[in-house]
Amino acid sequence: MNRDHEALLALFDREMREHARPDGPGVRVERTGDVVRQVGTADDWNAVVWSDPDLDPARADAVIAAQVAHYAALGHGEFEWKLYAHDRPADLAHRLLAAGFEAEEPETLLVAPVADLSTAVELPDGVRLRTVSDAQDVELMARAHERAFGSDWSRLRHQVLARLAEDPDGFVGVLAMVGDEPVSAARMELYPGTGFAGLWGGGTVEAWRGKGVYRALVAFRARIAAERGYRYLQVDASDMSSPILRWLGFVALSTTTPYVYRSH
């Protein structure tokens, strides 16, 4: 990794993790000892988002056990430890597994300066983009997500509805529509006080893949981020979206893996 990328990763770690802000209404960020964690209701994203780079093997197991106990005391049956490849100690992933966490699919942390990205929205014939403005639009987002990914959107539905109702300036939802049917949906989380905005979603139904819809959604959100003064876009990218994003100008800074603890 070159020095520019190292500096950008350090900025990301500091602004988005060590000094994390709550990602929605009704949640809080707690800084305690060696970790920063987000805490909300069972329907919110509950997670350890940062651990001290100086966390050593002698303390690591006790720190992990303390987080398990904390979320259990709140009655949460599930929470995530969002681990990055450069986190320390080097064997933290193995310690999480030994403590009962389960690793989900890793993703690539990609970042791009907004000024370097194209904001030209080019859509295939018959597709139009529009922003999400009400609960009916959220249902269209859910339909697109479930058709594209084949996964349940109930928890995200709760989170997006809360953002739309209580923090609309920190959230942008986008629908790609063909007639009255959603063929793709995406969202952008805006993090005031940082230079970063995050791109999430972007799932496209199978019949419309490979036609430029995903690229158009990225450009559309990049334009909004630029208008609102954000310097960087960040994506936790799957293997499917990573090549497209790299081609658009994003660079890989690390990988991130959700380690999920589920009480039994």
* Those residues with Cβ within 8 angstroms of residue 20's Cβ, 6 or more apart along the chain or in another chain: 29, 36, 38, 49, 50
Per-residue pLDDT of the chain (264 residues; tens, 9 = 90+): 788 999 999 999 999 999 999 988 889 999 998 999 999 998 899 999 999 999 999 999 999 999 999 999 999 989 999 999 999 999 999 999 999 999 999 999 999 999 999 999 999 999 999 999 999 999 999 999 999 988 888 888 888 998 898 888 889 999 999 999 999 999 999 998 899 999 998 889 999 999 999 999 999 999 999 999 999 999 999 998 999 999 999 999 999 999 999 997
SS3 content of the chain, % helix, strand, coil (to 5): 40, 30, 30
pLDDT of 26 reads 86
pLDDT of 207 reads 95
pLDDT of 25 reads 83
Under DSSP, is residue 215 helix (H, G, I), strand (E, B) or coil?
helix
Is the overall model pTM greater than 0.75, yes or no?
yes
pLDDT of 218 reads 97
pLDDT of 150 reads 87
Look at residues 205, 220, 226, 215 and name the one whose alpha carbon lies nearest to residue 249: 215
